Amino acid sequence: MSLVFHNVRLSFIISIDFGLFNFGKDIENYLSQVTILGEKPVFEYKELSDEVYDHEFIRLSSPIPTLTFEIDNNIFFDNYVKGHVEKTLNPFYNSFYRILVIFSFDQRGIMSIRFDLYSKLDNSIQTPKMIEILDETCTLVDETIFPKFIKNEIEKLVNPPENAIFLQVHETYSIVSSVNVTKYKSKSQEKRDIFGIVWKEPDYNDMDEKTVDIVTKNEIGLFDSDIFTIATPASLLICEGDLELDSDYFNERINAVEIFCRQQHLLKKLDVKLDFFIANYNKKNVPHLKSVIEEIRVTKMDVYSALEFYRNTKIYGIHFFKILFDILNEVFELNKHYSSVLDKLNVCDDLYKGLHDERRNNLTENIQWLVVILGGSSLLVAVLNLFKDSYMGVILLFILLLGISIIQIRNPGKLKRVFIMFIEYLKFN
C-alpha cells in the first residue's frame, strides 16, 4: 500500500538572475508582444493577497509584472517532451489538460518562472510512480525546456546593465499538489511516503527513521486532513474536500513558496556580488571607487529594509501564514544567507570606506604640499629679483623652505621629496 494520487498539479519554480530589468516606459505593450512556446501571454501586475499579507505591507509593496502563458498540451508534448523522457512516462504527459508557464519579474532583478502542469488521470498514481514522474518532469523542465526553449527568449526581453555581476546559475524547486489523496491508516508509513516524494527518493522504504523524521518535520495544515510538508528539494500539498487545483487555497501557498525561492536566490546573488568586491579589493588599483561605495550602500539599504520583511514575519504576515513563513524561512535558510551577506557587507564597508578615507587624506596632504611648493616658488622669484647678482637670496630661501618643511611634516621621506622638488625647480628656472 502507498499514497494514491487521483489528480495532480506539478509546479516547478525556477529562480534566475537577469540583473535589474529595463523594459522601457511602455512595459505592458512591450511584454505583451512576447511569444513563448508558440503562445502569447496575458499581462498583469500581480498584487499580494489581502488574505495573506498585512494591508500596510501590500500598500508598500510594488505589484510584480507577470506574464502567464497557457500552452497547448498537444504541442507541448509533441515539440518539447517527446524524446526527452522515458516511454513509460508518456501516458502521464498525454494526460495533461492544462499547462501554464508564469513569468514573475521581481523589481530587485530576480525572476521566477513557474511551470504548472495539471493532470487528471484515468489510472491513479501510487507513491513510487509519483516519485519517478516528479523527478523526470523536474529534470525535463530544468535541463531541457528552460535552457533550450525559454532562456534565450528571456534574454532578448531584458536589457541588463553593462558590467553587472550576475549569479550565473538557476535553481528549480518542485511542488506536488493534489486533492483527496487516498491515504494510509498507518501514519508512520504515510510519513515515509511523504518523505520519498519531497526528497525524490525511490528507496524511501529503506531510509533511516531519524532521517525521515528530520526531512518531514516541517509540516503544516489548516485542518487535520491537510498535508503541507515543506522540504528541499520539493514540497507536497494535499487537501481534502471540494476544491479545484487552481483554487486560492493552493495558489496562495504556492505563491508564498515562490516568493521565498526568489528571496533565497537574491541573497545568494548578493553574497556572490560581495565576494567579488572583496576578492578584487586592491589598494593601488580600485577604479570608480565612489561608484563601488555607492553600490555597497544601496545593497546595505536593500538588506536592511526590503529583505528584512522576509525574516520578520510579524511585520507582514497574517493568521496562518505567519507560521508558514517562519517554516519557509527555516527550510530556505534565509537567516543563514542573510547573516552571511551582513558579515560580508561589513567587510566591504570597512575595506572600501577605509580606502576612500586614506585616499582623501593623501589628497589633502598633497594639496598642502602643493600650497607650500607654490608659495616657496613665488617667494623664490621675488628673492631672485632682489638678489640678481648674489646667491645669498637662494641660500636664505632654501633655509626658509627647509624650516617650513620640518614644521609642516616631521617626516624624513617626505622632506627628502620636497628637497628634490626644490632642486628640480632650481634646475629648470
Residue 111 and residue 103: Cα distance in Å, rounded?
7
* Contacts of 238 by beta carbon, 8 Å cutoff, 6+ apart: 177, 178, 179, 181, 226, 227, 228
For the record, the C-alpha cell of 402 comes out as 627647509
* 8 Å CB contact between 343 and 335: no
* 8 Å CB contact between 376 and 397: yes
* 8 Å CB contact between 33 and 43: no
Residue 302 and residue 108: Cα distance in Å, rounded?
9
In 10 A of CB 84, how many CB atoms?
A: 15
Closest CA to 303 of 332, 344, 333: 344
Per-residue CA distances from 83 to 90, 115, 147 (Å)? 10, 19, 16
Distance of CA 190 to the CA centre of its chain: 35
- Write down the domain spans for the chain: 4-246, 265-358, 360-428
User: 228 burial class (0-12, 13-18, 19+ CB within 10 angstroms)?
Assistant: buried
Residue 303 and residue 300: Cα distance in Å, rounded?
5
Q: Rounded to 5 degrees, what are φ and ψ at 310?
A: -85, -5
* Contacts of 116 by beta carbon, 8 Å cutoff, 6+ apart: 9, 10, 11, 98, 99, 100, 101, 102, 246
Tens digit of each residue's pLDDT, the chain (429 residues): 679 998 899 999 999 887 766 665 577 777 877 888 888 899 998 888 888 887 877 877 788 889 999 998 888 888 888 887 877 777 788 788 899 999 998 767 788 999 999 987 666 889 999 999 999 999 999 999 999 888 888 877 776 666 666 777 888 999 999 998 988 768 888 999 999 999 999 999 999 999 999 999 998 876 777 899 999 899 999 998 888 999 999 999 999 999 899 888 888 888 888 888 777 766 555 666 666 776 777 777 767 665 665 555 555 667 778 888 889 989 999 888 888 888 888 887 777 666 655 555 555 555 655 566 666 666 656 655 665 555 555 565 565 565 555 555 555 555 555 555 555 444 444
Q: Secondary structure of 201-236 in the HEC alphabet?
A: CCCHHHCCHHHHHHHCCCECCCCCCCEEEECCCEEE
Maximum distance among all Cα pairs of the chain, rounded to whole angstroms: 117
